[in-house]
Chains A and B, each alone.
Chain A
Amino acid sequence: MKVLHRKLLRELLAAKGVLAAIISIIAVGIGCFIAMSSTYDNLEYSRENYYRLCHMADFSIELKKVPVGDLATLTEVPGVINVLPRIVFQVTASLEGVEKPLSGQAISLPARENAPINGIVIKQGSYFTDQRQEEVIINDAFARAHQLRPGDHIQLILNNRLQDLFIVGTAISSEFVYLIGPGGLVPEPESYGVFYLKHSYAEDVFGFEGAANQILGLLAPEFQSTNRVREILNQLELNLDDYGVFSTTPLAQQSSHWFLKSEIDGLKVSATILPTIFLIVAALALNLLMSRMAEQQRTVVGTFKALGYSNQEMFLHFIQFGLLIGLAGGLCGILIGYSLAGAMTAQYRNFFEFPSLTNQLYPRVIILGLLISVFFAVLGTFRGVRSVVRLSPAEAMRPKPPLRAKRILLEKMHAFWNSLDFRWQLVLRDIFRNRTRTLGGVLSATVGAMLLLVTFSMYDSAFALLNFQYDKLLLSDIDISFKDDHDYAAYFESQQITGVDYAEPLFQIGCTLKNGIHEKKVGITGIRGDARLTIPRDTAGNRVEVPRTGILVTRKLADILQVQAGDSIELIPVSGDRAVRRVPVMKIIDSYLGLTVYANFQYLNRLMGEADSLSSVQLKTNPRPAVTRQIYRELKQVPAIQSVNSIRDQKDKLQEVLVDQMIVMIVVVIVFSSLIFFGSILNASLISLSERQQEIATLRVLGYTPSEVGSIFLRESFCVNLPGILLGLPAGYWASKGINIAYDTELFRMPFTIGTMSWVYTVLLGILFTLISHWPVQKAIQNMDWLKALNVKE
C-alpha cells in the first residue's frame, strides 16, 4: 500500500464519527435510489414480460352487441393487427358459507386454447376441458380468498339464472394485475372476482350466439403513440357505430394498467427526487468536513508541495477521501436499498398479481448507484479542498491568517446586541461568520422538515379522500345495481327488505358529452332532488343541490370539455335513440374518482324518454352484523341484481390498506428525516467543536461547566435548524401541492390538505431531532481534553 493511502486510511479512521454521519446520509440516499430503481425494474420487467406473455390488449371497445362476423373489417383499419370478440358481463356469485353476495366479471374465452389477446396464466388446475360446458376458471386471488380449488363448485347468476359451475382451474391475467371492482380503489379479492367461461357457453347463457359485447385489439408497434391510438379508436368507433359503442378504452386508460403504470411511474420520479435530496445534503456535509480537514492539513499540503508533489497529486490524494466515503456510502446504500427493494416488492405482491414478481439485483442500478454516490462525495470533497490545494506551498505553510473579525450586522444594532448575553453573542457571531456551514444546516433542516410535511400531507390527503368519498359523497351502506333498468317497483321492493332503513334510486346512463371539439364518454348519475345518500359537493366540501334541469360536472371533466357553469353542451346517449340533446352545465363540483356527472333523477329520465327508470338503489341499513347477513341472504335471492356493493366494507378495506401503507411510509420517512437532521447537525457541530477547541478550553478555564459550553452549541444548533424547519413548512406545502397536481388524472385525484397537526408534528419532530442530535455533541464536549487544547500550536 502506498504511504499516502495509509495516511488516508488513518485520517479516515480518526474522523470516523463524523464520517459515519455523512456515510449514513449517503447510504440512505443511495438506499432510496437502489430500492426505488430496483423496485421500478422489478415491476416494469414483470409487467413487460407479463403483457407479452398474455398478449395484453392495446385497446378494448365495449358495446351493446356486435355480430362476430362483422368484425373482420376492423383489422383492415391501418395499425390494427388482431381483434378478439368477448362476452363480458358483471355478475354475482354465491358460495356456500359466504353470506355476502359476491360480484365479479364473467368473461368468455376460447374453449380449447388460450385467448390470442389477454390470455390467462393457469395457476392451479387446468384450462377448459371437453368434459362439460359449465366450466369456469376463476381468478387466483378470489380462489385464495375463499380457499377454492379446482374441482370445487361456484354458483353464478348468469343472465338472471343461477348456474352451478365446475371450477377447472385458477388463473391470473395481465389485464387484472390490479383488480378492483366498480367504485373501488383497492383490490378486494374476497368480494370481487373474475370468472372465465367457455365462449360457447357464454354465448348460450347470455343469448349472444355469434355475437360479443367487447372487442379487444392489438396494434402494430408503430401505431402505439397516444394520438395514433386515439385516431384508430375513433375510426373503429365509426365502423361500429351501429352496434352501440359504450366506450373505447386505450391501454393507457385501462383500469389495472393505469394503477400499475401510475405506481411504476411514481417510483421512477421518487427514485430521482428523493435520493437527490439526500445526496445534496451529504455533499454539503462532506464539503464542510473536507474544508475543515484540508484546512487542518494546510501545512501538510504546503510541505508535500514543497517536496515536489503537484497540485493534481494533492487533489487526487484528497479526492480519494471523497472516493472512499462515496464508495462506503454507496456500498451501505446498496445493502440497504436491496433489502428495502425486497420489502417494497413483497408489499407490491399484496396488490399486484403477477406470475412472478421477485426482487432482482440489477448490475446497471448498482453501478449507477455507486457512481452517483461517488460523484456526490467527490463533488463535496472537491469543493471543500479546492482552496487549500490551490495555495502556493509557501502560503499553505504559513498559518491561516486570523479571521477578519468584522462586526456582523446584528452588532450594529447596538441596543439589541448589548441586550444579549455573552453566549448569545458567541452563537450569533459564529452563525453569521460561517455562512456556508449555516446555509448547509438550514438547508438540511428545510429538507428534513419538508420530507416530514410531505408525508404527513399525503396521509392527510389519503384520509381526506376517504372522508370525502365515504362520509360526504356516498353515505349509503350497500349499493345494489341491476342488470337492466327497472322501474320504481324495484326501489320499493328494496325498501321493504328487513333491516333497510332508507333507500334511494339512482338512474345511470352512458353518454358522450361534447363541447365543440372537446368530447368525452362518461356516465351520468341521476339522483333525487332530496337525495341523502349521494351528496354532490363543491370544492369547499359544501353540499351542492341537484338542479331540476341541467347537469353538475366534476372539475376535471369541466377542464377536459372546457366548460364552465352556465355553458350548454351536447349529450349523446350510447344506447337508445342516440339523438343529440343539449343540456346546460349548472355547476362545477368536486370528486376524486373518475369523471362524475350528476343530474336530477326525473330530469335524466325525461331526457332519455323514460318515466321512472332506475339502474341501482342505494341502501342505508341497520349496521348490526346479523341484520346485514339477513339483507345479504335476501339479496341473493334476487336474480335481477348485477352486483351488491358493501360501501361500508369498501371503506373499511381502503382504510385498512391506507393505514398499513401510510404507517410504514411515515416510519421510514421519519427515520430518513432524522438521519438528515442527525448527520447534518453532528457534522456541523463536531467541525465547529474542532475549530473552536481553544475557545471552549478558555471557557472551561474560566469556570464554565460542560453543559454551559454545550448550551452554546445547542443554541447555535437551534438558531440554524429552527429557521430551517420553518422554511421546510412552505417548502413542504409546495412540494405536496406539486405531488397533488401530478396525481390529478381522469381516473383518480387526491384532495390537497395538510392538517393542523401535520404542521405541529413536523415542527415538533424537527425540534426533537435537533435535541437528540445534540447529545453526542454534548458527550464530545464532556470528553474533550481541554488542557491539551490550550497548548495547541497555531
Chain B
Amino acid sequence: MPASDADALESSLHHESTILLSLKSISKTYTTGDVSVPVLHHVDLDVYAGELLVIVGPSGSGKSTLLNIVGGIDVPTEGDVYFHKQNLSQFNEQQLTQYRRRHVGFVFQFYNLVPTLTARENVVVAADISASPMSADEALELVGLGNRADHFPSQLSGGEQQRVAIARALVKNPELLLCDEPTGALDLSTGRMILEVLGNLNRELGKTVVIITHNSAIGHMAQRIVRIGSGTIAETNVNSQPIPASQVTW
C-alpha cells in the first residue's frame, strides 16, 4: 500500500487518538572502526496512545534498532523522535534515563532477568526507581504469577520468566510497553500466553504496546502492522478486526 494511502487510512482510524510518539526521518548507522553499517534509512512512524502496534521484519531488518530508539536506549544518527512533542533526539543521557524510567517498559526476547534475584525482587528492581509504581505482587498477579513470586529465574519456565519480565515492565505503570521478540524464545502455547497478557494490558489497562517480531502471525492481534525491511518501512497496514491473542497461531 502506498504511504499516502496508509496515512489516509491511519488518520481515518486515529483521528481522535493522540500521537504518543512520532519518528521523523530517522536514520541509524553503526560504526565499528573503519566499517559503517547503515541500519535504518529515513524512517517516519507515528505511534498512537493506547494502540497495539506490531512491527514485523526479518532478522537484520533494523526493527530492534527502531525499538531501541523509540525506547530511548539508543539514539538515532539522524532525524527526530518526538514523545508528547518533546524531541528525544535532543535529550542528554540523563533526560533519556528519566524518559525510560517514567514512560517506557521493556520486554526482551531472552527476558534479561537478574539470575540472583527472585521473581518479586526482579520486579521490585523496576518499582524501586519509579515515581508511582504498582506493587510488585500486583504486577505479578496481573501476569498470573502471584504464586511464583519467591522463585528464582532458574526455577521458572521460559514462559514464566517472560511473564516476570512483563511484570517488571508493567510495575512502573509506563505509558509505553516495548516488546522485542517477546515470544522468540518460547514455544507456541507459551508464546500465545505471553501475547494474551500483552493484549490484556493493552485492552484493559490501555497501555500502548509495541511488539517487534519476525513472526507475521502476531500481526493479526494488532490494530496496526508495520512491515520493515532493509532499514525502511515497507508498508503499514491497519487491522480493523484484530483477533484475540488466544487465536494467534504459527
Contacts and interface: CB of A to CB of B under 8 A. Distances in A.
Contacts of B126: 307-308
A11 B168 CA distance: 21
Given A3-B124, A7-B117, A394-B74, A308 B112 contact: no
Interface string A290-306: 00000000011011111
A306 B93 contact: no
A397 interface: yes
B24 to A, nearest CB: 20
B108 interface: yes
Contacts of B168: 307
B110 interface: yes
Contacts of A606: none
Contact of B117 (A6, A306, A310, A395): A6
Contacts of A307: 100-101, 106, 125-126, 129, 168, 172
Report, as a range, how many residues of chain B touch the other chain. Answer: 20 to 34
A392 B74 contact: yes
B102 interface: yes
Given A310-B97, A311-B93, A394-B68, A3 B117 contact: yes
B183 to A, nearest CB: 17
B94 A306 contact: no
B240 interface: no
Interface string A552-594: 0000000000000000000000000000000000000000000
Interface string B65-77: 1001001011100
A393 interface: yes
Nearest to A395: B74
Nearest to B169: A307
B135 interface: no
B68 A299 contact: no
A299 B101 contact: no
B116 interface: yes
Contact of A306 (B71, B75, B121, B128): B71
Contact of B116 (A14, A302, A305, A401): A14
A interface SS class: helix
Contacts of B172: 307-308
A3 B112 contact: no
Nearest to B64: A394
Given A7-B114, A303-B108, A397-B108, A310 B125 contact: no
Given A307-B168, A308-B172, A299 B125 contact: no
A302 B114 CA distance: 11
B87 interface: no
A792 to B, nearest CB: 13
A303 B101 contact: no
A3 B102 contact: no
Nearest to A396: B73
Contacts of A309: 97, 101, 129
A302 B68 CA distance: 11
A6 B128 CA distance: 13
A793 interface: yes
A2 B71 contact: no
B97 to A, nearest CB: 4
Contacts of A304: 125
Nearest to B111: A303
B116 A308 contact: no
A10 interface: yes
13 contacts: A4-B128, A7-B116, A300-B114, A303-B112, A306-B73, A308-B98, A309-B129, A310-B94, A313-B129, A393-B73, A397-B108, A401-B32, A793-B110
Name the 6 nearest CB pairs between A and B, nearest first.
Answer: A308-B101, A393-B73, A394-B74, A303-B112, A10-B116, A394-B68
